[in-house]
Structure 1
Amino acid sequence: MVEPTNPNQTLSPKVDLSRRPKEPILIIEDKRENQVLLEGICKRIGVPSEVAENGDIALKMAKQKQYSLYLVDLMMPVIDGKTFIAEQSQVEPNAVFIVQTAIDQTEEIIEIMKLGVYDYLIKPLHVEIVADRLEKALEYVYLKRMEALLIDEEAKELKSQLEWLNYKESHRKTTEVNAELNSILNLKTTMMQGSGLGAMTTLIDTIDKIKKEENGNYLIQKEYWELLTENQDHNKTMLKGLDLAVDVIQSKFVLQKVSSNQLLSLLPEIAKDFQTEMEAKQIKVNLPVVKQTVSLELELESIKTVVHEIFTNGLKYSKTNSNFDIFVTFVDGYFCLSAKNNLIEDEYAKQLLHSEKKLVEPFYRIHPPVESFHHKEKFSLGLGLTMVDFILQKHNGMFFIRNAIDHTTETKANCVIAEIFLPIQT
């Protein structure tokens, strides 16, 4: 029995097709009317599909071809749904399954979820519900593949970055003068970018040339005064950011054992703080769902500052109408929180390809300040990622930021991945 709704109607919600896996969905269903319905729903959401009449045929098809996910009926002849899931999971550990069942009972649902399936559908099938679940499952497939890619890349990156840190530490004392000089040059460049001291200096020079004297007083136009006031606000923010940086550097970090869930519980609150900016840029934040819990040693408030800065940096340089993805992985004894944003394709992005390791240097910045994020920045003058790096060092952790190419979909995309590594406590 199926719901008599037209599955070929056009879906109204906007879907990011660039995040769609290119492989078809395999529908494993013995009843012809359900096959037609599910094929129609797949067509409706713009996803290719193929059909297998039972689990035996499905296993043979899966050996010949890769599928994005499996839509499995539990009750079938020859090989039933549970047997198919068990056997295919052995061959394809990361396979994603959605199960169909006519039994709407708690005990049955629990048994279904124990199979390691992503989701389940209760018969009779409702077109809107099936379409929505498939959309979410396809997004989950994308995120799962990205997670697997990150784990592989992070292991390589961790080795590379450890070598870089060892090299940097061994040369630190011999290059102290150059490091201090670079910091001063970085500060000079940063202060002359965007609003603040650089703009105020230009304004005052301009006003000095056009000011009028009347009754012993100087007169300036209203628009100039408003610009001065606006830039004074930026200057105060810069000073406040510098004060916070000094406070952080002088703090004595008292680390306490906490669960990784406590850290992850900060993410929704921080994401909510950027709601206005995300709506303005049409950015969707995807937070992780993590089943594994580990112990960490943290000073939770300072780690909250770290995560806030990762959000700030990622969101302000994200493309309009894109995704900001957060992943959690476990690599070589480290808990790793990764943030991925799609890279704005401009001249600054080209510089980033050659300067990613410099981003944690004091006062260094590639992009000019983003004025719409002015009041969200805890630090200023290009110090944000410097403080992230400093705080994580105090936690015996590491911070890396790197360029990457998203290979998980048919359309490759340049992106930036910021990674927080914290040692797992036993």
Structure 2
Amino acid sequence: MVEPNELNLISVSKTERLRRPNEPILIIEDKKENQVLLEGICKRIGVVSEVAENGDIALKMAKQKHYSLFLVDLMMPVMDGKTFIAEHNKLEPNAVYIVQTAIDQTEEIIEVMKLGVYDYLIKPLHVEIVSDRLEKALEYVYLKRMEALLIDEEKKELKSQLEWLNYKESHRKTTEVNAELNSILNLKTTMMQGSGLGAMTTLIDTIDKIKKEENGNYLIQKEYWDLLAENQDHNITMLKGLDLAVEIIQSKFTLKKVSSDILLSLLPDITKEFHKELNDKQIKVNLPVVKQMVTLEMDIESIKIILFEIFTNGLKYSKQNSNFDIFVTFVDGYFCLSAKNNVIEDDYAKQLLHAEKKLVEPFYRIHPPVESFYHKEKFSLGLGLTMVDFILQKHNGMFFIRNAIDHTTETKANCVIAEIFLPIQT
């Protein structure tokens, strides 16, 4: 056994601190010399500690304050270690304990471990052994808490997704009158935004006020006629998008079993189709490298439409000099392809927290129209993501789009993640 005054002669072997919680360790020990020894070991490994002389005092302290770890002597007056652990577990079922015992017998050790303790120490205590056990126990506490946080975040995310599904389902079950009325109102708003019908209406009103009559004809300045022609082009694009949406809704989907590699092989060609837009905004597309292959049921042509729309929506609202990341995961029997883009930090981006559940509602927009992308859009009037959702339903899949915080950049940044889920076939 190492005497307390010898602790100063022992060099600290671990120069790098392991991951550990911030709260102090509570030493529950009745003997003064062991209290001093254990406090010295805690100080040696850079951990704050406090002392309780018995289980009763420790229980009162634990009710007032949080501790990372409990170092418990089994044999103490007033309240022994076993009783303390049993009582404290009622308050904090996930607490972590290391117990000290002077009895080195198998039966005793088994009884100790039945208490649900993390580890045990046999007296007399050795500095190096105690230091090592404390380091490992503290990291265990840290990892255990991180796991709990991750599980909690997953539960929140799942709850959010379920709420979204319920929202969409209830929205579909809205009475036909209300659904039609909402669509008409949204359509009116959308058509009056940006180029197209809204701009043409304004132009025609302007021309009507400034037109000149000469020799039985109206004279219109060239700039106005050019603007009319440009907006007519937008109108034609809108009508084509509506025609395509109607065609898809009325079509029958033929699903065939194919390898997931077929889906992934579509991505490079789609990326090339956005060559100009990528160069203009200096965006780098990062495609996934996936070694695992699974079988999916797909209608390839409609899957191409989905992927093209995911690219269109993501790149359209990506900030300058950023990344557009595509990655693949396998979640509970689903093949999940996700697309992440960093959004422009403006007033519209702030609405993401309140509006993500409405992104697939027909004609709903967060940002104003992006005119430079209108010639790329297969669907006009904000119908793109609605069609993605519709097509995936026909594939027995799911679509989610949500805001998130991107931790892969130098500074935390707001981003949007669009996810398509396709069931894996056996």
Alpha-carbon distance, 1:173 to partner: 3.1
1:233-264 alpha-carbon deviations (Å, 9 max, x no partner): 00000000001001000010010001110000
Contact 1:238 1:381 in 2 (8 A): yes
Counterpart in 2 of 1:207?
207
Contact 1:399 1:421 in 2 (8 A): yes
CA distance in 2, matches of 1:265, 1:62: 45
Which aligned runs of 4 or more in structure 1 are off by greater than 4 angstroms? 60-63, 149-156
TM-score, normalised on structure 1? 0.63
Counterpart in 2 of 1:46?
none
Counterpart in 1 of 2:272?
272
Alpha-carbon distance, 1:151 to partner: 11
CA distance in 2, matches of 1:152, 1:375: 43
CA distance in 1, matches of 2:298, 2:257: 6
CA separation of 1:255/1:263 partners in 2, compared to 1, >3 Å: closer, same or farther?
same
Task: Please tell me the residue identity of whatever aligns with 1:388.
Answer: V
Counterpart in 2 of 1:359?
359
Alpha-carbon distance, 1:163 to partner: 4.2
CA distance in 1, matches of 2:154, 2:387: 22
1:284 aligns with 2:284: yes
Secondary structure of 1:423's counterpart equals strand
Contact 2:192 2:198 in 1 (8 A): yes
Secondary structure of 2:341's counterpart equals strand
CA separation of 1:201/1:329 partners in 2, compared to 1, >3 Å: closer, same or farther?
same
Contact 1:155 1:331 in 2 (8 A): no
Task: Indicate the structure whose relative CO is greater, using CA pairs within 8 Å and at least 6 residues apart.
Answer: 1
1:390 aligns with 2:405: no
Secondary structure of 1:254's counterpart equals coil
Counterpart in 2 of 1:28?
none
Alpha-carbon distance, 1:64 to partner: 3.8
1:302 aligns with 2:302: yes
* Structure-to-structure mapping, 1:180-191, within 5 angstroms: 180-191=180-191
Alpha-carbon distance, 1:371 to partner: 1.1
1:57-96 alpha-carbon deviations (Å, 9 max, x no partner): xxx8898479xxxxxxxxxxxxxxxxxxxxxxxxxxxxxx
Alpha-carbon distance, 1:157 to partner: 3.4
Contact 1:309 1:378 in 2 (8 A): yes
CA distance in 1, matches of 2:180, 2:352: 22
Counterpart in 2 of 1:344?
344
Counterpart in 2 of 1:329?
329
Counterpart in 1 of 2:51?
none
Task: Please tell me the residue identity of whatever aligns with 1:299.
Answer: D
Percent identity of paired positions between Structure 1 and Structure 2: 87
1:338-379 alpha-carbon deviations (Å, 9 max, x no partner): 000001111211222211111111111121211111111000
TM-score, normalised on structure 2? 0.63
CA distance in 2, matches of 1:232, 1:416: 32
CA distance in 1, matches of 2:15, 2:266: 44
Contact 2:164 2:357 in 1 (8 A): no
Alpha-carbon distance, 1:155 to partner: 7.5
Counterpart in 2 of 1:223?
223
Alpha-carbon distance, 1:278 to partner: 0.4
Alpha-carbon distance, 1:268 to partner: 0.4
CA separation of 1:336/1:151 partners in 2, compared to 1, >3 Å: closer, same or farther?
farther
* Structure-to-structure mapping, 1:19-418, within 5 angstroms: 64=18, 157-166=157-166, 168-170=168-170, 172-409=172-409, 411-418=411-418
The size of the alignment, in residue pairs, is 286
1:21-77 alpha-carbon deviations (Å, 9 max, x no partner): xxxxxxxxxxxxxxxxxxxxxxxxxxxxxxxxxxxxxxx8898479xxxxxxxxxxx
CA distance in 1, matches of 2:155, 2:279: 34
CA distance in 1, matches of 2:303, 2:193: 29
Alpha-carbon distance, 1:387 to partner: 0.4
